[in-house]
Amino acid sequence: MNKSVIASIVIASFSLSSSVVSAADHGHGHGAGQDEHTLTTSFMYQGKPATQATKAYNAEFAKGLKFDDTKSFQEGRANLIAPLDAATSALLADAYEFVGEKTPDTINPSLYRQAQMNNEAYGLYQVNDKIFQIRGTDLANMSLVRTDNGWIVFDPLTTREAAKASLTFALKNLPFGNNDPVVAMVYSHSHADHFGGSRGVQDLFPNVKVYGSAHITKEMIDENVLAGNAMSRRTSYQYGATMKPSETTIVDAALSNGIAKGEITYVLPDHETNLENKFETVIIDGLELVFMDVSGTEAPSEAVAYIPSMKAIWGAEVTYKGMHNIYTLRGAKVRDALKWSKEINNIIQAWGGEVEFLFAAHSSPVWSNNDISDFLKLQRDNYGFVHNQSLRLANNGVVMQDIGWEIQKVLPNSIKDAWHTNGYHGTYSHNSRAVYNMYLGYFDMNPANLNPLPTKAEATKFVEYMGGEKAVLKHAKADFAKGEYNFVATALNKVVVSNPNNNDARLLLADTYEQLGYQSEGAGWRNVYLSGAQELRIGRQEGALKSASADVIAEMPVGSLLDFLAIKVDSIKAQDYAFEVNLVIPDAKDIFVVELANGNLSNAKIDKVKDTATATFTINQSDIVKLNLKQTTVKELLASQAATIQGDASFLETLAKVMTEFDPAFEIVPLPSEKVIEANKAIYMKDVAKPAHNDRHHGHDSK
């Protein structure tokens, strides 16, 4: 038996896709300590200018926006204690210096206002006399709440480096308690920007106790594992991971300007809240917190909290100053808009009568009972609107392709006029389609859509029916000149899918995607369009997505690992093989039976080993963790008898034969030839000199 075979299988299986962390490593710009007159030069991809049609579209769009409402800017600027220093911002790439007063023609004016607001977050802020926030160092806020003897950190950011630097800066600049310990960490939910920096906090305070929402470890792994490779690739589009921020590329991440660089980590919680009850009171170092389970809203595991002594609500990510995703473009299970609305209503009913402070994982706080009440009710009714009106339209026969257009026609003025309900992260268009899909699925019952041809075959027939590539291109050029970009994109995509070597169609399609991106209010939409344009022109670029760290992978449940193994099996290769194996994990007191049959790998948790199994593989959970951390190998474990195999070990050879590896850079848009890529790089890759500065307060009160 080749004992090294299983090592390669197991280790490869644990090396999960980077979509365990659904985030893009595109940095976050602060001056990084440079003199404000220093010039930095960067070789970067740049797009084309806005067309006249896009300029007109954005100008018309701006007329419907209430730029005289500057309350969110006032709230964002309130109570700044200390702007970030060079040491704290040095980890973050110089990226968003271009965000200034005047809205560029290449950016939707509403999205640009969101970028301006997010760009002003840059330092340590005071929420009340015992609550403080670091904003502007990452996608999320780090919040610090005072206890009797120290501090609680709520949501320790995305990376170890960002968390450590942010916390160090906070403790240096807090008005009191600078030498007091962080006694606890709270993860609000199962997304990486809310736990990924946990090891950075623990590095500074080894005795910190960790609290997480119900089933957070299972959910944070399970949400992204099985479709992880696809989600990772899609994430690079949603966050524009292959582009540096500029007026013609990415401009904002909706929840903040961007995401910090570094290592994603995960410290296992000591206590998960709300495992038995909707509300759970927890005393942390003398401070009473009432946690409320809101799992199934923005995340499959999530909790908000109320601090009675401070009359403060910790809102997690159930609310932020914008509309969130019911369906996230990177991919994830559709969220329940009705539950989301109801949970916000539960927050109002539970604490709305007395609350004076609302602080959350993204955006600036809201102060005063009246303002908080208005904010929460609009947030509640926005998600309720998406759910209820999507189903009203669906029940009147509006199909999925149309419902995103129709829902925007019935938006009430009170919701339309409020900035914090706008579709920067989620949009009414794709959120309404998510509601439709949740209840009715992808099929609209039109027989023509029941079993369409595969995409390439369909594209080829469409081009043939439309009179050939030249005819399509002629019409597309005419419609592009008129600014009718949506159908131009549809038609030219058929040409390019059918014939990837039609460079005239390819480049016009890229131009079309680009203009659609420039017009998009949603940050994700902009990034998807512009990522597609970039790849059509210069091919796939390094996405710099964060890899799943050892800390995260080490916590993967064995059942999830086995499910992940199953989707890597090639069914045609596997159909000629069969085995049944007991997997015994003594220290966890778990037993699984793993069976290969009919081209499928299945597993089940069982009470005792099966006599019918051809082999029994015994390995401790602690050794699986060591494998994940690359502290040992299966060969070493077998040699030392820390792990054993009894019976027929040929299942290892079989697994090696039938397992496949995913392509982490699979094609999304048809890619150009190397010759085209090199020619286009000379056009679109430019040296860009730009001033760097640390002054983030630009006074953005209007367009």
pLDDT (tens digit per residue) in 541-558: 886 555 456 667 777 788
Q: What is the C-alpha to C-alpha distance for residues 324 and 434, in angstroms, rounded to an integer?
A: 12
CATH number of the domain encompassing residue 564: 3.30.1050.10
Confidence of residue 625 (pLDDT cuts 50, 70, 90): confident
Can you say how many angstroms the Cα of residue 356 is from the centroid of all Cα atoms in its chain?
Answer: 30
Is the distance from CB of 326 to CB of 435 less than 8 angstroms? yes
Domain span holding position 619: 3-16+556-658
pTM strictly above 0.75 = yes
Q: What is the spatial order of strands in the sheet that 279-284 belongs to? A: 279-284, 287-293, 303-307, 312-314, 357-359, 366-367
523, 254 Cβ separation under 8 angstroms: yes
Please report whether residue 120 resides in a domain.
Answer: no
21: how many CB neighbours lie within 10 A of its CB? 29
* pLDDT tens-digit series, residues 43-100: 689 999 999 999 999 999 999 999 999 999 999 999 999 999 987 876 554 478 789 9
Measure CA 449 to chain center.
30
Structural domain total, the chain: 1
Residue 463 belongs to some domain of the structure: no
The helix/strand/coil state of 296 is coil
The mean of the pLDDT values for the chain is 89
pLDDT in tens, 180-194: 999 999 999 999 999
Residue 370 included in any domain? no
Element (H, E) at 143: strand 142-146
Q: Which residues pair with 123 in a beta bridge?
A: 83, 135
- So what's the pLDDT on residue 631? 87
The reply to whether 631 falls in a domain is yes
Q: Is the pLDDT of residue 30 over 60?
A: no
Model pLDDT for residues 135-192, shown as the tens digit of each residue: 999 999 999 999 999 999 999 999 999 999 999 999 999 999 999 999 999 999 999 9
Q: What is the pLDDT of residue 1?
A: 41
The continuous run of DSSP H or E covering 169 comes out as helix 160-173
Q: Is residue 165 part of a domain?
A: no
- pLDDT given for residue 227 in this prediction: 84
Pick the closest to residue 416 from 323, 326, 339, 327 (CA basis). Answer: 323
Strand partners, 128: 131
Q: Which pLDDT tens digit goes with each residue over 463-508?
A: 999 999 999 999 999 999 999 999 999 999 999 999 999 999 999 9
**Residue 630 counted as domain residue:** yes
Task: List pLDDT tens digits, range 209-218.
Answer: 999 999 999 8
Give mean pLDDT, residues 329-353: 96
DSSP one-letter string for 11-60: HHHHS--GGGS----------TT--TT-EEEEEEE--PPPPHHHHHHHHH
Residue 123 CB burial class (10 angstroms; 0-12, 13-18, ≥19): buried
Closest of 383, 233, 415, 228 to residue 317, by C-alpha: 383
The answer to whether residue 163 is domain-embedded is no
Q: What is the DSSP string of 655-675?
A: HHHHB----TT--SSPPPPHH
Tell me the torsion sign for CA atoms 521, 525, 529, 534: positive
Helix (H) or strand (E) holding 582: strand 579-585
Query: Would you state the structure tokens that stand for residue 59, as one six-digit string?
Result: 């100008």
Query: 84 in a domain, yes or no?
Result: no
